[in-house]
Structure formats: C-alpha cells, structure tokens
Amino acid sequence: MTKINEMKQGQRLTMPLLIKDIKNGTTSKGAPYLTLTLQDNTGVIDGKFWDIKDEDRQQVKVGQVTLLSFEVLDYNHNLQLRINHAEAMEQSQIAMDEYVIASGIPEAERKEELKRLVNSIRNEKERRLVLGMLKKVGEKYMTYPAASKIHHNWLGGLSEHSLSMAQMAEAICAHYPQLDHDLLIAGALIHDVGKTAEMSGPVTTEYTLEGKLEGHISIANGWLSEVADEEGLADSEEAVLLHHMILSHHGHQEFGSPVVPMVQEAEVLFLIDNLDARMNILKQALAITDPGAFTQKIFALDNRMFYKPKNTK
C-alpha cells in the first residue's frame, strides 16, 4: 500500500488514512467543503473534500482511520489530496501503528538517557525538583508529542525533543564553563512538561480546554510550585531559577513567555529550544525532498523553501 511519503502528483488512490483534524469551509459560491489533516506512520498531508454532503460528513471523524478515494494534486508547491469519497471503517480491526508516527528512538533507550541526565544533576535540590516534575507527568513524558503539528509531533516527541536539548546543553556547558550545568540540564528536561496537559495525546493531538486557556508554560509553572512546596523548596533559589527557566523559554513575550530570559542559562535554553525545533522541521521537510530540489514552503520558517544539495546522502 502506498504511504504518504511515497505519494506523487497525479496518482489516483483508494486507501485508509487517519483523520487528525477536520475544518469546515465554504467556497465563494456558498458550497460547503472540508479540509482534512490526514496521517499515516510516514507523514501528514492535507486533503480537500469538496461539495460535502451530509452522508459524507457522517463518514469522517477525528481520530478514526477512514477509507478514502482521492487524487494527489500539486497546490502551491505542496502535495494535497482531492477527496472524492469516504467510507467509515471498523476501528477495532485496524493496526494503529500503521497510522501513528512514533519517535525513531526506542522508548527504552529514551528512558535510559533520561535516567543518565537526571543523575548528572549534582545539585540535590534541582534534582529533587526535576524528579518531582517527572513523577507528576508519569508515562506521558515518554508518549506525548512536543507539538500538534510543527516539530516532534509524534508519539514520544516530547521526550525526544527534551533529551536532545539536554544533550546539546551538555556540549554547550563543556564549551562555555561559566554556565551552570545543573540548571541548564534541569531546565531542558522539564521546560515542556506542561504539554502533557496542554494537548490531548499522541494519536489525535488536539489542544485541551486547559491548554487553550492556560498554555503549557503556565501549567508547568504551577506544577513546579506544587512540587517545590511538597519538597520544602518553595523559597529556595533553585526553585526560583527553575521557575524562570520555564517561564522564559520562548524567549520573547510576543512568543508566549511571560518574562524574557534574565539569567544566562535561560538565554541558552531559549536558543537550543529554537534550534532543536528548527532542525527537526528541516529534517522532516528535507526527508521528502529529492536531491537537487527545493522543499515545499515551510510556514514555521518564514514560509521559506530550502534547497537540498545534489550530493546529499
């Protein structure tokens, strides 16, 4: 069966795909249509279901794998599906691992790396705060995505992103010894844990009511207050600094941070967060681009297209 990452312009296919999102629309002539976000375990693609009828609407539901008939089109240098027919499927018979994108790093390996990084935090107070935050989110730390669409948006993406940042932090601390290794590692590991409440989960990743109204930064900051109280560390400088790491990691108030970085470790955390996200976005875009060609326009990177050199392996 053809996978999303194998689709080519002009193909006409009938195959099951997971519906990640549904948006209603109306044409300039008043005709209703749907925009579907569709997924398998190789990628995500948008589809348009024109002239939608009531019986068609009953066949498409978020979070369900649906049999779709469509044509693959090129729209503004992006592949898009024009859907002609949809048919609901019995969900109990579906192997969901065919439709859920998962981290390429095994969970057992991520758990071992997390343990190593936590143990590398020599400051006992910071280590206790990190362990308390990890205990609060439990297994969700290993299974949740880091985002709904933009980067690390798959099963295990949150831990993959956080561990990658912590590994970068280790290298940066070795190069800039004036940095507080423990604070930067702690911040990298827990900065995004609020996403386990901000989003609904790895299969149909939607923003929860709490996520929409509070956001992951505020959620995580509140959790840290609870953990610090439980550990008797609420008045410690370590707790205050970790609060700042969480609150400032988006770098700018217009990007959602209540405060801007005001300690050097918070500035570095913001930079490596941005770098890891951007490199992951580029990795995904270049993976489906032929050598000697440009990627599709990447919205998260100022709608730029990136060239993949011919000698790329």
Highest mean pLDDT: which of 71-85, 136-150, 222-236, 276-290?
222-236
16 burial type by CB count under 10 A (0-12 exposed, 13-18 middle, 19+ buried): middle
- Confirm if 26 and 49 have CB atoms less than 8 A apart: no
**pLDDT score of 306:** 95
Residue among 46, 33, 40 at smallest CA distance from 79: 46
End-to-end Cα spacing for the chain: 26
Which residue intervals of 95-123 are DSSP H helices? 107-119
**pLDDT score of 205:** 76
Query: What's the chain's average pLDDT?
Result: 92
**pLDDT score of 154:** 79
What confidence category does residue 86 fall into, taking pLDDT thresholds of 50, 70 and 90? very high
**pLDDT score of 272:** 98
**pLDDT score of 151:** 74
Judged against a pLDDT cut of 80, whether residue 41 lies above it is answered with yes
Residue among 91, 271, 63, 110 at smallest CA distance from 176: 271
Q: What digits encode the pLDDT tens for the residues 169-219?
A: 999 999 999 999 999 999 999 999 999 999 888 777 788 999 999 999 999
Q: Which residues pair with 13 in a beta bridge?
A: 70
Q: What digits encode the pLDDT tens for the residues 119-171?
A: 999 999 999 999 999 999 999 999 898 887 777 877 889 999 999 999 999 99
**pLDDT score of 126:** 98
Question: What 3 state SS string does 252-308 have?
Answer: CHHHCCCCCCCCHHHHHHHHHHHHHHHHHHHHHHHHCCCCCEECCCEHHHCCECCEE
**311 vs 263, residue with greater confidence:** 263
pTM for the full predicted model: 0.80
**69 vs 97, residue with greater confidence:** 69
**pLDDT score of 288:** 78
Cα 258 to its chain centre, rounded Å, is 21
Euclidean distance between CA atoms 48 and 197, whole angstroms: 31
**pLDDT score of 257:** 93
**pLDDT score of 173:** 98
- Confirm if 97 and 41 have CB atoms less than 8 A apart: yes
Q: Which residues contact 247 (CB under 8 A, 6 or more apart)?
A: 217, 221, 257, 258, 259
Place of tokens 């935090």: 121
Please state the rounded mean pLDDT for residues 290-298: 90
**pLDDT score of 292:** 92
Q: Which long-range contacts (CB under 8 A, 24 or more apart) does 70-77 make?
A: 70/12, 70/13, 70/14, 71/10, 71/11, 71/12, 72/7, 72/8, 72/9, 72/10, 72/11, 72/12, 72/13, 73/9, 74/9, 76/297, 77/294, 77/296, 77/297, 77/305
Q: What digits encode the pLDDT tens for the residues 256-289?
A: 899 999 999 999 999 999 999 999 999 988 987 8
**pLDDT score of 290:** 85
**pLDDT score of 95:** 82
Instruction: Tell me phi and psi for residue 12, to 5 degrees.
Output: -120, 120
* Residue-range domains of the chain with CATH: 4-98 (2.40.50.140), 107-284 (1.10.3210)
Euclidean distance between CA atoms 135 and 14, whole angstroms: 44
If you count them, how many residues does the chain have?
A: 313
Judged against a pLDDT cut of 80, whether residue 96 lies above it is answered with no
- Confirm if 299 and 191 have CB atoms less than 8 A apart: no
**pLDDT score of 9:** 92
Q: What digits encode the pLDDT tens for the residues 99-115?
A: 888 888 999 999 999 99
